[in-house]
Structure 1
């Protein structure tokens, strides 16, 4: 049975949303160009432009030099300062903030360390103050939406960050405090899921609608993107791959401890220990800065680059680095093969600090080791966004929410 034609108000909403999307993606456009891109009649385009101008969403930003001067020569653009956005990347030992306009153009960015020995109250105050100071410094007087990326699980029923063992108490308290102190909408999402959103929209998975992001950092995790949407699972725990039982650990994980699971093979501490077996020393530690496992991977790649063509002792150093990277790739491939066997995503993106450090070289080694483990063809790619992925994903999520609120959410399919 054919669906009923859209009502005039629904048709206007669809046309307005289409025009706003084109203005967002293409930049300022003339009415004539909007007519060409939308396929709408000239009177309909004229009506929607005036409607959007009256709503304060669109304004004249200039004139087109390619057309005669007159009504159709005006360039219309989205009012980018109609609302401001903020995104926070909340890590175990610090927070990074960025503030942008409605289209995502950066206005200010700042970061602050938060030591593991800092009490909850002072830690929350430092993070909240950083956001407020950055917003003021950016001149952002219309803060509309704040997106937060944090480790831990998000309750799918409430959207709240759940209490998780091993995570600082100030993470959960920060979300509550920001909702109390700012009139903006505050959204929180798991950091790995946000990194996957960024890779889907702007990074290594731009040409995929189904893939898995394998997060390799201090710990390990995964984000599942199926048919263009992040899947969180019934309790928000989809992707807790650190608990995955795998061979080679000598134990099994438990409900409260991922030791003995995939974490024991690919977490930063495990990678650092593996590197030491091959005489590769990680710079730094797992208590501050870059995870030691990522540092070890960088050191191995640097050694290969420096001594790969050497002889004698230099050749031995290069062989050790090469063997370490092979051993690491075998470990990562176990987790990737398990994910592929269950989900058949066709593509695994290696993210997190270790995935970024390993880059295409590590991704290629992991991909080489998958065929003997799984009959399903799986491409392995390195993150294209690196350490910026979580913050970028938080910003994209905030921008989508703000634009839906201001532009009107896309009408539901009939």
Structure 2
């Protein structure tokens, strides 16, 4: 028989502190009375924890709130967001986007740095210098945690980045340079997983503990969240659906190339080619931006006698093939379409995919358009870094 153990006074204080800090983070400045009502804690306990958190520098009095009673106004307590700072970095083949934020996740400064071709020996150093400059511009001297989103497999055991394609060498050099920053923790995550975390916390998948994000951009990937947990797999390869063998391609994918896999149907080059086949304009660059513009143009042209509807129907049929393969294995109940193409297609494309999917699988699956926006990877990285900082400062398990 297992006997429940009573929490020690120090454990109880830590739990109460975390509860109060999270409420201040989520709901903004609160009075002691409001904290008592929200936590169910006694007046002396709330007074004690507020005094203790003020001593640590995590909470401060930021004003007063008048109440309909006699006596002095109630003090307003708030989380000190400047107590720690974090950064998020979205690494792509053509450069990086980054943001420096406070403990509450509020962006303080942003920057972008383009990298031509495969970069050079100084690329990683320039990016780190840009991060330093951005932090200084925000008045930040030290970054507690940096979360990095990058394409490729992130080994859950070692944290090392492994490429499934031809990623430039500066990617691994940048990670090594960031990990040398004194007093800064670095978290590496696959970029689609970060976008999935953003959709889960602040986007289209809010309220869903189980869903799959299908990322449709230059290439194709997926983030899998089951029972509220992001799943990475034994080697970090969960969601590498660009390699999924599907009908409609001229061959099969290989261990070193996904051109004949699902990527060959719905990657940006395939989407641009499909648009041109339907008489729609599509930039010859065939990159994610060109595919986004083609899909957005098709949506905007609906109802105007343009062939946008036929193009969207065929694109939806292609996406549904890969989505059906994922759904009959995982039964997520919800698929979110993200990335540049998913974002451009919006509800029009999502609705078409859902109808096609219903004809391919007996499993009821809702398809939603992603709402975390074009900065979903950065947003997910900010959330990830913020969680890590709070675990450290708040003592969260």
TM-score by length of 1: 0.92
Whole-angstrom CA distance in 2 between matches of 1:232 and 1:62: 45
Mapping of residues 134-149 of structure 1, within 5 Å: 134-149=134-149
Runs of 4+ in 1 over 4 A off after TM superposition: 67-72
In structure 1, list runs of 5 or more residues that go unmatched: 310-314
- The corresponding residue for 2:292 is 294
How far apart are residue 64 of structure 1 and its match? 1.5
Give secondary structure in 2 for the equivalent of 1:291.
Answer: helix
Do the aligned partners of 1:303 and 1:321 also contact (CA within 8 Å) in 2? yes
1:49-64 alignment, distance < 5 Å: 49-64=50-65
SS in 2 for 1:50: helix
Structure-2 change in CA distance of 1:68 and 1:84 (3 Å): farther
**Which one of the candidate residues 298, 303, 327 is aligned to 2:314?**
327
8 Å contact from structure 2 (residues 118, 169) kept in 1: no
Q: Distance in 1 between matches of 2:224 and 2:180?
A: 32
Moved more, 344-353 or 62-71: 62-71
Shift of 1:378: 0.5
Query: What per-residue deviation string (whole Å, max 9, x for no partner) do you get for residues 123-167 of structure 1?
Result: 212211211110010001232111111111111002222244311
Q: Output the CA distance in 1 between the equivalents of 2:172 and 2:385.
A: 19
The two structures have a TM-score, normalised by structure 2, of 0.96
**Equivalent residue for 2:233?**
233
Where in structure 2 are the equivalents of 1:124-135 lying within 5 Å?
124-135=124-135
Distance apart, 1:68 and its partner CA: 5.9
3-state DSSP of counterpart to 2:321: helix
- Determine if the alignment matches structure 1 residue 336 to structure 2 residue 340: no
Equivalences, count: 396
Could you tell which deviates more after superposition, 24-33 or 369-378? 24-33
- Partner-residue secondary structure (3-state), 2:156: coil
- Greater alpha carbon shift after TM alignment, 361-370 vs 251-260: 251-260
Shift of 1:173: 1.2
Against the structure 1 CA distance between its residues 152 and 32, is the aligned structure 2 distance closer, same or farther, given a 3 Å change threshold?
same
2:200 and 2:262 map into 1 onto residues whose CA distance is 25
Unpaired runs of at least 5, structure 2: none
Answer yes or no: is 1:277 the counterpart of 2:264: no
Deviation at 1:276, TM superposition (A): 1.6
Question: Compared with structure 1, are the counterparts of its residues 72 and 284 closer, same or farther at alpha carbon in structure 2 (3 Å cutoff)?
Answer: farther
Three-state SS of the structure 1 residue aligned to 2:157 is coil
Match of 1:303 in 2: 301
Residue 375 (structure 1) aligns with:
362
Any conservation in 2 of the 1:162–1:172 contact (CA below 8 Å)?
no
Is 1:360 aligned to residue 361 of structure 2?
Answer: no
SS in structure 1 at match of 2:355:
helix
Q: Quote the residue 1:14 is aligned against.
A: 15
Q: Which position in structure 1 is the counterpart of 2:166?
A: 166
Instruction: Sort the Cα spacing of 1:123 and 1:300 in 2 relative to 1 into closer, same or farther, 3 A.
Output: same
RMSD: 1.6
Q: Are the aligned partners of 1:178 and 1:186 in contact in 2 as well (CA < 8 Å)? A: yes
Question: What is the Cα deviation at residue 389 of structure 1?
Answer: 0.5
Q: What residue number does 1:176 align with?
A: 176
- 1: CA distance between counterparts of 2:114 and 2:180? 23
Q: CA deviation at 1:284?
A: 5.9
> What SS does structure 1 have at the residue aligned with 2:179?
helix
1:23 equivalenced with 2:24 (yes/no): yes
Name the CA shift for 1:70/1:46 in 2 (closer, same or farther; >3 Å).
farther
